[in-house]
Amino acid sequence: MRTTILIAGAAFCLATAVPVQASDWEDIKDPAALRALYSNKTFKGKDYLDRPFVGHYRADGQGVMISQGARVPRSWSVKGNDQVCVKLPWESPCYRFQRHTAKADVYRVINVANDMATVITVEDGVPQF
């Protein structure tokens, strides 16, 4: 009986799961689009440990990330046609971006060094910092 319930529960979960299709995401390979993505925008998401963060980025290349009460200044620049590199006090990671095809404010940020992806929402505007 217990095994039947477990199998039925697993089947239900598989049947109701919404798969992430590769076709749901479109690569951003335009330096102007990447600059626009970072110019006076606020990023919201969760890191790989499921901790919320907010990033604010100005058109002048300056930004700040707020996570767990800490504010970390940073600067950003476009590299090539498909990357944005972020200068932090301890490293300078580069990222590729994908836009969700059905949700205009949802993006996937992919770390070039390790292929780890984070889903974020992007909003217009930034506070003073």
pTM of whole model > 0.85? no
- Checking if the pLDDT of 62 tops 50, the result is yes
Instruction: Kindly report the average pLDDT of the chain as a whole number.
Output: 86
- Phi, psi torsion values for 87, nearest 5 degrees: -90, 120
Ordered by start, the domain boundaries in the chain are 24-124
5-43 tens-digit pLDDT: 333 343 333 333 334 456 899 999 999 999 999 999 999
- Enter the CATH code of domain 24-124: 2.40.128.640
Query: What does DSSP say about strands 41-46 and 25-27: parallel, antiparallel, or unpaired?
Result: unpaired
Q: What is the pLDDT of residue 4?
A: 34
State how far the alpha carbon of 113 is from the alpha carbons of 27, 29, 107, 110, 117, in Å.
Answer: 17, 18, 18, 9, 11
What is the arithmetic mean of pLDDT over 62-82?
A: 96
- Kindly tell me if the per-residue pLDDT of 108 is higher than 90: yes
> Are 41 and 54 spatial neighbours (Cβ–Cβ below 8 Å)?
no
Strand partners, 74: 63
**Looking at residue 23, what is its pLDDT?**
84
Residue range 109-120, pLDDT digits in tens? 999 999 999 999
The residue type at 108: R
Confidence of residue 128 (pLDDT cuts 50, 70, 90): confident
